[in-house]
Structure 1
Amino acid sequence: MDTSAGTAMYPLHRCKTIHLVRHAQGVHNVEGETDHSAYMKPEFFDAQLTPLGWSQVDCLREHVKRCGLAEKVELVICSPLMRTMQTAVGVFGGENYTDGVSAPPLMVENAGNSGCSAISSLGSPPFLAVETCRERLIESDEDALWLPDVRETYESLAGRGMKFIDWLWTREEKEIVVVSHSGLLWHTLRLYSKECHPTVRHEVSKYFANCELRSLVLVDRSMLGSDSSSCNYPGKSPAELDLPSDEAYKN
């Protein structure tokens, strides 16, 4: 019997659905697409979204609402940089304020000179900014994750990404959105997909476009998670005294 099946089964409670999103177009992308060295400019470190980027956010927001994803998401995690936070809040933030209902804003009006209206927290999932899923380029001699004047290697970037994914198993949520950057997403997914079929590997690890959403199932193969299934049922006899079949049917 051939035991090298192309499919695999894992317990449902050892799986999470991770929705990965690259931030929408930032001002750095406009210049960087024609001159890659522009990404090194200090003024682009915490780049804002462009008007086109905000249009991309609006389109993705409509998509996640239309496909039903907006109602499933339990947590939104993003890099602490402006372009990822703007994308995360713009796509998954709450609806407009309702008369008589008070809810703090996720984003104030004209945040970062965006010209955008305030975005409410009303009806939105929780948001969490996490350092380990931020961009590769960090220039600060006070940053504990990077050495001064040394840019993080791609190997380090991928390793950081994998540690971040492992950290997701400490979360109880099963449906999580991660809004991050192209470099971290690409290098991390290349490691995760290296043993997949070439077609699957390409599908998983191809380069992210601005504001692209890609949904993946994360499987805990190393017992990182310790939770038990809430759906499994052991299969046992009822607590009451068993009756012969003919007697049971009479009742």
Structure 2
Amino acid sequence: MAPTSRLYLTRHAQAEHNVDLDYTIPDAPLTPLGRKQASSLAHTIPSHLQTRVDLLVSSPLKRTLQTTLLGWNPVVQRLGKENIICLPEAQECNDHPCDTGSSRQELEANPEFECLNLERLTEDWTIIAERAMKVRQFLREREEEEIVVVAHGDILRQITATVDGPGTYSWRNAEMRVYRFDSGSVESEDCWLTLEEVVEVTGGFAPTSTEMDIPGEEKGKVNGKI
């Protein structure tokens, strides 16, 4: 167990369903702009951070897998397949086609994802507070100290929930925020997280499939240096 781990929670870059709010697109991949946003992550994130990350975790939806491969490419190139894990519990929260992942067989047949560890994807992985808790528990039990998690706005709000309920922050596309485990609850079943820093990068506001209102101005930045 490494309860002192730093968790680099990252929202995926712009996906096809973000553009026209068309949630009928099956397992929506990144747009060309989204690919540029994700690629920019690799150049925006400090190089010393890219060299010390020792575990990559991603939702198995295409847009998060693509963001992982493009945005954290130096880490992907450095880590072995066993340390690039697709975690089904980190998928998005809804049953819209855009939020429903592809089968393991389809992902394995796509050469773009051949360097990813898909072994945790069971046949029913696509069937939310409890799932988010399982994500935190999984991360808590890992021995790695510097862990990247690439996921979705809605599930990230659940992962960063507190005893008062889910978070309310509107994650931007290709945004990364740094969390640690709360020392007072790290040994409990909930194992809450606390915000350490915000790294604002490449993307703008794009609604998740459960957000009805998008903030008219950007959220305040938590100053910090990685």
Dislocated runs of 4+, deviation >2 Å: 121-126, 137-140, 142-146, 191-195, 219-225
Deviation for aligned residue 1:193: 6.8
- Aligned ranges 1:186-201 → 2 under 5 Å: 186-189=157-160, 191-192=161-162, 194=164
Unaligned 5+ segments in structure 1 are 1-12, 33-37, 96-120, 147-156, 196-200, 226-251
For 1:59-90, what per-residue CA distance to the aligned partner results, in whole angstroms no more than 9, with x for missing partners?
21111244x21012110100111100000011
Measured in 1, the distance between the counterparts of 2:125 and 2:11 equals 24
- Give secondary structure in 2 for the equivalent of 1:122: helix
Aligned partner letter, 2:179: L
Measured in 2, the distance between the counterparts of 1:193 and 1:53 equals 34
Measured in 2, the distance between the counterparts of 1:93 and 1:160 equals 27
Q: Which residue of 2 aligns with 1:92?
A: 72
Q: Which residue of 1 aligns with 2:172?
A: 209
1:172 to 118, 135, 143: 143
Q: Which residue of 1 aligns with 2:54?
A: 74
What percentage of aligned pairs have identical amino acids? 31
Q: Which residue of 2 aligns with 1:20?
A: 9
In the alignment, is residue 185 of structure 1 matched against residue 156 of structure 2? Answer: yes
Aligned partner letter, 2:175: E
For 1:131-181, what per-residue CA distance to the aligned partner results, in whole angstroms no more than 9, with x for missing partners?
1000123478x73663xxxxxxxxxx1221122111212211111000001
Deviation for aligned residue 1:93: 2.0
Q: Which residue of 1 aligns with 2:26?
A: 45
Task: Give the 3 Å change call, closer, same or farther, for CA 51–73 of structure 1 in structure 2.
Answer: same
Q: Which residue of 2 aligns with 1:228?
A: none
Q: Which residue of 1 aligns with 2:129?
A: 158
Measured in 2, the distance between the counterparts of 1:62 and 1:83 equals 19
Q: Is 2:3–2:140's contact at 8 Å kept on the other side of the alignment?
A: no
Q: Which residue of 1 aligns with 2:20?
A: 31
Query: Normalising by the residue count of structure 2, what TM-score does the alignment of the two structures yield?
Result: 0.62
Aligned partner letter, 1:212: E
2:78 to 96, 120, 123: 123
- Give secondary structure in 2 for the equivalent of 1:15: coil
Unaligned 5+ segments in structure 2 are 101-122, 190-226
Task: Give the 3 Å change call, closer, same or farther, for CA 183–167 of structure 1 in structure 2.
Answer: same
Measured in 2, the distance between the counterparts of 1:143 and 1:26 equals 24
Q: Which residue of 2 aligns with 1:10?
A: none
Measured in 2, the distance between the counterparts of 1:213 and 1:128 equals 18
Measured in 2, the distance between the counterparts of 1:214 and 1:28 equals 23
For 1:100-122, what per-residue CA distance to the aligned partner results, in whole angstroms no more than 9, with x for missing partners?
xxxxxxxxxxxxxxxxxxxxx53
The alignment's C-alpha RMSD in Å is 2.7
Measured in 1, the distance between the counterparts of 2:126 and 2:3 equals 30
Q: Is 2:54–2:79's contact at 8 Å kept on the other side of the alignment?
A: no
Higher helix content, 1 or 2? 1
Task: Give the 3 Å change call, closer, same or farther, for CA 193–178 of structure 1 in structure 2.
Answer: farther
For 1:181-220, what per-residue CA distance to the aligned partner results, in whole angstroms no more than 9, with x for missing partners?
111012332x22749xxxxx9xx75110111111111235
Measured in 2, the distance between the counterparts of 1:222 and 1:185 equals 18
